Structure formats: C-alpha cells, structure tokens
Amino acid sequence: MFTPFFYKLKEKKVPVSITEWMVLMEALDKRLIGNMSDFYYLARAILVKSETHFDQYDVAFQEYFNGIAPPLEVTEELLAWLTDPKNRPQLTPEEMAAIQKMDLEELLREFEKRLKEQDERHDGGNRWIGTGGTSPFGNSGYNPQGIRVGGPGGMRSAVRIAEQRYFRNYRDDMTLDIRQIKVALKQLRKLNRTGPEDELDLDRTIDATCKNAGEIEFMWKRPRKNAIKLLLIMDAGGSMEPYADLCSQLFSAANSLSHFKAFKYYYFHNCPYDVLYSDIQQRKSETIEHLLKILEPDYKVIFVGDACMAFSELMERYGDIYFHGYQKMSGIDTLKHFRSHFTHCVWLNPEKTVLRSYPTVQVIAKLFPMYDLSLEGLNLAVKKLVTRR
Amino acid sequence: MTQKQFEQFKGSSDYVISDPLKNAVNVSIVLQRPLIVRGEPGTGKTLLSHSIASSLGKELIRWNVKSTTKASDGLYIYDTVQRLNDSRFGGKDVSDIKHYIKLGKLGQAFTAPVQVVLLIDEVDKADLEFPNDLLNELDEMSFYIPETDETISAILRPVVIITSNNEKELPDAFLRRCIFHYIEFPEPDLMEEIVKVHFPNIKSSLLKDALDSFYVLRKIDDFRKKPSTSELIDWIQALMASGLDGKIKDGEIPFLGTLLKKETDIDYYVSHHVRKKPQGRGYNISGN
C-alpha cells in the first residue's frame, strides 16, 4: 500500500528506510490512522526524522496525494451522521427540511468548492468553512448536517498542510550558521589515549589491589584526546568575494573549536602555486615545499574555493596571473602534490551546481572529492575525512 | 474501530497540546517505540513527559543527560570504590557483587513492576556515540550485567520520551527506531490557550494586545534569541502585576527586558524599532 509514495519520498531525497516503512505499515495495520490529516502527521512522525527534511516530505506528499480527493473522512463522517439514530429525534422540522435541501453529493461538491475558494481561517459567519458558524461545513458550528472538519484550524486538509510548506526554512541544503558548522566539524574526531598516565584506572586498580591482598595499589592510564589535525586552505581570490561571509563563518567555527589537536589555515589566490599565505592580505607566505615537509600526512585537509579559473591558470606552468614567471610548478601539479602527501583531502565549493560544468572545476573535482559549502555538503565532507581509505 | 485503545493520551489540564503531537505520542505508545521530541527551547519538550505521566497516571523516571553521561550509566553502575573500601575496612559482604550494582535510570524503568514513563532529557548533550550505545537496550528493552551474570529485561515496556535540542545530529540507526516529532512554535490560537492555562483570569483585551506585540517581536529575524513561550508568560505576569497593557506605542514595549534576554537584541530593537524622540531622552525599556 502506498508503495509509490515510498519511492516518491526517496526521489525527493528524504532518507527513508525499509524499517521505517514497515513501522508505518504496522501503524496502518493497527488502524492507528483514521483520516488523511492523521496520515500526514503520523507518516511524517514515523518516516521523517529531522525537521530539515519536512519540506521535501511536504513536496512529495503534495505530488503523490494531490490527485486523490476528496478525503475519505468527510464521506464517512457524514454518512455516519446521517445514519446515526441518536441525532434524529433532536432535529427540529427546519433542520429536517435542511437535510432534504442538500443531498450528500451536492454537499460534498459544495464543500470542495468552498474549500478551494477559501484561503484563510473563518470563525463565525454562515458561508465559509470554519468554527462557530452556521455554514454547513466546519467545526463547533450549528448547521445540523454540516461537515465537521478536523480539530483546531481544521479546514486545512492534509494536502493543504503540505502545500503550505511551513518547513521550507529548515532545509539543511540552504543555510549555514557558525553553530551548525561547529556541530558538523565536531564530528572530526578520533580519540586516542595520549599524554602522561594521570587518569585513575579503576578496574585495574581493584584487580591489582585484590591481588595485593587488599593493600591498595593504584593503576593509572592515559586520558583520551582528540588526535585530529585540521588544515584549512581557503581561496581569497576576487571571484570568492560573494562568499566571503560564508568562508569567514567556516573559519571562525573551526578556529573557535578547541577541539582539534592542531588547526592550521592558509590562503591562496584563485589557484595555489608554490606558496600559501598565512594572512588574508597575502603578505606572509610559506612555500608549499616547506609546508609539505613540516605538516604530517595525517592532517585532514579542507580546500575552500570556487575552483573556477582560466584553464591555463590551472594547467600551465606559468599560469599564475599575478606573479609571472616565477613558478616552479603548475597549479594542477601543486594540487596533485597535496593529494599524494595528505591521506584525507576534500574540496568545498560555495558555487552552486550551475558552475560545476566549468572545465577547471571538473579537473579539480577529479582530484579531490568536491562538496557544496552547505550544511549537507559539509557533513558529507566531514564523513569523507574521517572514513578510512 | 480501535479508537478507544488508541486515544490513550489526551493531554492534561496544565499542558496544551496540538493534535499531531498527541497522535505521535499515542502512536509511540501503541507501537512501543521511543518518541523523539525536538523543537526550539521553551516549547515544552520536557513538560510533555510530565503531562503524559500525570494524565496516564504513571510514574515518571527522568534521566538528565549531560556531556559526561555515558550510556552505561543509565543501565547500571558497579560501585567499585565502595567495594574496595568495604574490603579494606569491613562492611557489607564483599564477595557478593550484587551489593555493589546500582541500577541506572534505564534499569529502574525496566525493573519497575508497573509501566512507567521514561524521559531521556537532552539526549544530544552527551557524546556523539551515546545514542548508538543505547540502540539495543531500547530496542529489546533489556540488558546484560556481566558482573553478576544477570539479564535485566523490562517487565512492562516503559513509554520512552527522548528530547533533543539539535545540538548534535543523532545517528541514523537510532532515529530509524524512533517516532519523531518536531514541536513548532505555537501559532497565536494555540498560544492563547497556553496563556489561558497559566492565567485563567486574564482580561481578553490584555491577552490580545500582548499576543499581538509578542508576534510582532517574533517576526524580527535578526534577534540572536527570539522570545519564547516562557518569556511571554513572564512578560504577561509583569504586565498584569503592573496594570499596563501590552501595546506597542511608538515602538516602545514595557518590560522589554523580560522578553529579550540578550543585550545585543535589546540594543538592536531599540535602535531599529523605537521611534526616536525629539528631546533626545533615554529610551524607556523598563516600563515606567
């Protein structure tokens, strides 16, 4: 049942698994879901585990269910009301006449029509769907054969809720703030026991004490510390100007995390050649040759840059547009050196996918796994950095 | 229909709840899966479990997770230091390890003779691996104590509510086993009900003015911390005590300090939204 909906969700990149789908089937089987609105919320509660995916869920829901109307609940409730003997004696002659005025189909048609026309909540009044009124549709109203619609704010049908797309702002492929970056970077972690033996090892102490016939014998161990070293290399070139804020956020997040064993950062302009700069004005420089000697291969390297440049800037030996003639190596060879020296390198690209077909971007993406500079991309990049090769 | 069995939790008089959340709670009870509740601070995540416990008439066991909490703390603690002490200076029977095994909150919830509500509060505060370490225990509702060769399994599966502030992403494997609900910030209608629960005798004009002003503030995106429900409640209390209304006049809001807790936010509000007075007097943010 609803299996195409499962694939619809997958198509919209909502990470649903079979396990969760089976839970939903169990819930359906236990008849926990009575109407479309319930289904919308419960399927979401069971299938979607982060508000960042609610928007994709809404889109999928809308696309899949939009064709299926009207919601079954209306017919059932209405029929139940019409056949409910308890209500009949209480009807006044006018009310009986009112029932005869509209037959079921007409009522439903009218309901849909008004639902479409109506675009906001209505309380009171005699026409719109809402609460407290005498319109045939709504909640807590007085029309005897009215359709009661949901609970509070109930005129939003499930598909309509989906249509509102309340959660658009929560999508994680959109925004980044420092805190989110920190959370993402915190995953860069490998705990090793290092340093002096100054942590009491309780279990071994007890063992040793017992063996020592109760005379207390202390045993010590080394504390656990994060062994990750991070190297951040950022493009400070002109084409990166629009992303200056984003890059500085990434930098301040990484810099303020006292979480790494070592954190180093360098800048380059458009494409790294021979030297990297330790300040953004590009005055203090260090040669890459030297850096690759002093930095151990287990540094995790994150390049940030748009990777867009003239083809010659990347591929040719004298490609540097700023310092003609002094280069030892072409940009691509420099990058290849990084690739072979460090075990883990990734490239974060703030440019959206439009420019990914740019030739130099494609060349660099072959060298380094390339991700968007978005929360989603950063998370993927971090995962790449901590996995074993 | 199984409607009767399904509608177990209906909310309690001191906690206003939206229908989707109520349904999510009930589904998690029926399917016996933990419910993860996420949302902005001050939207009542922790209070939810209190409300569930009181409305179902069950005991609440609360496990506050801290950055140093380990998953095994929730199961049991083997008090080795006490045992060591006893062996040296005499005390209980040292040969029986059982005396030194203390059950953690999870263990207490499993061994309770009646069904309880177990709240695992702020699960994301702990180490990243914390939720994964609890996977099996929450799935099977049982765990093994190697020291005493005992298996503790739940007599009655507790209702498990887990809250998270989104500080850390929770692992997928953990999430797959849970029901998830994100508490949205309440819309004005629901907020009205919530305020009425706190102040049953509030004048409707005051309530309306206060809520209008409050949602004007909420719409300003540049605040570091937007005012939340608990700030609104405090503010209304201050308004009621002082007899002021909650209207915004020329941008000025009485007792602004109860709504905005960060100095930068207050500065921002005053400089951007308070109409400047010609006399150049200081701006009144304290309400008198």
Backbone torsions φ then ψ of B71, nearest 5 degrees? -60, -35
Distance from CA of A161 to the nearest CA of B (A): 12
Distance from CA of A114 to the nearest CA of B (A): 23
pLDDT of residue B62: 93
Range name among A72-86, A257-271, B80-94 with the lowest pLDDT average: A72-86
A49 touching B, CB under 8 A?
A: yes
- Mean pLDDT value across residues B124-130: 76
For chain A, give the mean pLDDT: 72
Q: Is B196 helix (H, G, I), strand (E, B) or coil?
A: helix
Contact at 8 Å (CB) between A350 and A304?
Answer: yes
DSSP B43: S
At A101, is the pLDDT very low, low, confident or very high (cuts 50, 70, 90)? low
Q: Show which residues on chain B lie within 8 Å of chain A, measured between beta carbons.
A: 1-3, 6, 18-20, 23-24, 26-27, 30-31, 33, 36, 38, 80-81, 83-84, 87-88, 128, 167-170, 172, 175-182, 184, 187, 189-190
Range name among A32-36, A166-170, B98-102, B264-268 with the lowest pLDDT average: A166-170
Contacts of A30 in chain B (CB under 8 A): 2, 30-31
pLDDT digits (tens, 9 = 90+) for A349-371: 887 665 667 788 888 888 888 88
Pair A142, A250 in one domain: no
How far apart CA B141 and CA B135 sit, in angstroms, is 10
Q: Is residue A204 part of a domain?
A: yes
At A94, is the pLDDT very low, low, confident or very high (cuts 50, 70, 90)? low
Nearest to A153 by CA among A125, A129, A126: A129
CA angle A158, A161, A162 (to 5 degrees): 90
Q: Give the bridge partners for B153, in sequence order.
A: B142
Pair A255, A345 in one domain: yes
- Candidate from B23, B170, B182 with C-beta closest to A54: B182
Q: Is residue A181 part of a domain?
A: no
Residue A375: count other Cβ atoms within 10 Å of its Cβ. Answer: 21
Range name among A155-159, A181-185, A380-384 with the lowest pLDDT average: A155-159
Does residue A35 have a pLDDT over 70? yes
How far apart CA B22 and CA A389 sit, in angstroms, is 46
Alpha-carbon distances, residue A137 vs A122, A125, A133, A261, B265 (angstroms) = 11, 11, 9, 65, 45
Pair A252, A355 in one domain: yes
Nearest to B83 by CA among B98, B71, B73: B98
Higher pLDDT, B169 or B121: B121
Contact at 8 Å (CB) between B117 and B108?
Answer: no
At A140, is the pLDDT very low, low, confident or very high (cuts 50, 70, 90)? very low
User: Would you say how long chain B is, in residues?
Assistant: 288
Pair A103, A238 in one domain: no
Contact assignment for A20 to B176 by CB distance below 8 Å: yes
Residue ending a domain, choose from A226, A250, A273: A226
At A389, is the pLDDT very low, low, confident or very high (cuts 50, 70, 90)? low
- Candidate from A44, A45, A214 with C-beta closest to B87: A214
Contact at 8 Å (CB) between A130 and A124?
Answer: yes
For chain B, give the mean pLDDT: 81
Pair A248, A378 in one domain: yes
Contact at 8 Å (CB) between A277 and A266?
Answer: yes
Range name among A29-43, A178-192, B106-120 with the lowest pLDDT average: A178-192
CA angle A153, A158, A164 (to 5 degrees): 75
Q: At what angle do helices B45-56 and B19-31 cross, to 10 degrees?
A: 60
Answer whether the bond into residue A70 is a cis peptide, omega within 30°: yes
The pair of structure tokens assigned to B229 is 């429900």
Alpha carbon A333 to chain centroid distance? 35
Contact assignment for B182 to A51 by CB distance below 8 Å: yes
Pair A320, A197 in one domain: no
**For the purposes of burial, counting CB atoms within 10 Å of the CB of B126, is it exposed (0-12), middle (13-18) or buried (19 or more)?**
buried
Range name among A141-150, A320-329, B55-64 with the lowest pLDDT average: A141-150
CATH number of domain containing A324: 3.40.50
Distance from CA of B72 to the nearest CA of A (A): 15
Nearest residue of B to residue A203 by CA position?
B80
- Candidate from B24, B169, B177 with C-beta closest to A45: B24
How far apart CA A242 and CA A253 sit, in angstroms, is 19
pLDDT of residue A337: 87
Does residue B288 have a pLDDT over 50? no
The four Cα atoms A127, A129, A131, A137 give a dihedral, to 10 degrees, of: 90
Q: At what angle do helices B229-242 and B188-198 cross, to 10 degrees?
A: 60
Range name among A151-160, A195-204, A287-296, B146-155 with the lowest pLDDT average: A151-160
How far apart CA A219 and CA A235 sit, in angstroms, is 50
Strand A224-226 versus strand A191-193 pairing type: antiparallel
Pair A220, A361 in one domain: no
For chain B, helix, strand, coil in percent to 5 are: 45, 15, 40
pLDDT of residue A74: 44
User: Would you say how long chain A is, in residues?
Assistant: 389
Contact assignment for B167 to A20 by CB distance below 8 Å: no
Nearest to B44 by CA among B14, B8, B9: B14
Distance from CA of B170 to the nearest CA of A (A): 9
Pair A164, A288 in one domain: no
Q: Give the bridge partners for B35, in sequence order.
A: B161, B179
pLDDT of residue A105: 56
Interface of A with B in 146-165 (CB under 8 A): 150-153
Distance from CA of B233 to the nearest CA of A (A): 22
Range name among A92-106, A373-387, B14-28 with the lowest pLDDT average: A92-106
- Mean pLDDT value across residues B252-277: 79
The pair of structure tokens assigned to B130 is 């914390």
The pair of structure tokens assigned to B232 is 């609104």
Range name among A249-253, B78-82, B192-196 with the lowest pLDDT average: A249-253
What would you report as the CA-atom Rg of chain B, rounded to the nearest whole angstrom? 24
pLDDT digits (tens, 9 = 90+) for A186-236: 777 776 777 777 788 888 888 888 888 877 788 888 877 778 888 988 888
A192 touching B, CB under 8 A?
A: no
Pair A231, A218 in one domain: no
Q: Is residue A185 part of a domain?
A: no
Strand B159-164 versus strand B35-39 pairing type: parallel
- Contacts of A118-123 with C-beta under 8 Å, sequence gap 24+, read A118/A155, A121/A153, A121/A155, A122/A155
Q: Is residue A182 part of a domain?
A: no
Helix (H) or strand (E) holding A347: strand A344-349
Does residue B110 have a pLDDT over 50? yes
Q: Is residue A174 part of a domain?
A: no
Contact at 8 Å (CB) between B191 and B229?
Answer: yes
Pair A253, A358 in one domain: yes
Q: Is residue A178 part of a domain?
A: no
pLDDT of residue B250: 74
Q: Is A273 helix (H, G, I), strand (E, B) or coil?
A: strand
Contact at 8 Å (CB) between B211 and B205?
Answer: no
For A92: left if phi > 0, alpha if psi spans -120 to 50, otherwise beta; the answer is beta
At B166, is the pLDDT very low, low, confident or very high (cuts 50, 70, 90)? low
Q: Is residue A177 part of a domain?
A: no
Q: Is residue A187 part of a domain?
A: no
Does residue B31 have a pLDDT over 60? yes
A51 touching B, CB under 8 A?
A: yes
- Amino acid making up residue B93: D
Residue ending a domain, choose from A180, A210, A226: A226
pLDDT digits (tens, 9 = 90+) for A113-130: 655 555 444 444 444 444
Count structural domains, chain A.
3
Domain boundaries, position A215: 193-226
Instruction: Strand A130-131: give its sheet, edge to edge.
Output: A122-123, A130-131, A138-139
Higher pLDDT, A185 or B192: B192
- Candidate from B23, B27, B84 with C-beta closest to A206: B84
Q: What is the value of ipTM here, to two decimals?
A: 0.72
How far apart CA B57 and CA A18 sit, in angstroms, is 35
- Candidate from B2, B18, B23 with C-beta closest to A30: B2
A311 touching B, CB under 8 A?
A: no
Does residue A150 have a pLDDT over 60? no
Pair A46, A85 in one domain: yes
> Residue A303: CB partners within 8 Å, gap ≥ 6?
A233, A234, A235, A345, A346, A347, A348, A368
Does residue A90 have a pLDDT over 90? no
At B282, is the pLDDT very low, low, confident or very high (cuts 50, 70, 90)? very low
How far apart CA A231 and CA A338 sit, in angstroms, is 11
Range name among A166-170, B59-63, B122-126 with the lowest pLDDT average: A166-170
Token look-up 């691996």 returns B129
Token look-up 């005053």 returns B270
Contacts of A73 in chain B (CB under 8 A): none
Q: Compute the Cα dihedral for B193, B195, B197, B202 and give only its sign.
A: negative
Contact at 8 Å (CB) between B181 and B20?
Answer: yes
How far apart CA B49 and CA B162 sit, in angstroms, is 9
| pLDDT above 90 coverage of chain A, percent | 1
Does residue B164 have a pLDDT over 60? yes
At A137, is the pLDDT very low, low, confident or very high (cuts 50, 70, 90)? very low
How far apart CA A246 and CA A175 sit, in angstroms, is 10
Does residue A170 have a pLDDT over 60? no
- Mean pLDDT value across residues B102-120: 91
Pair A115, A254 in one domain: no
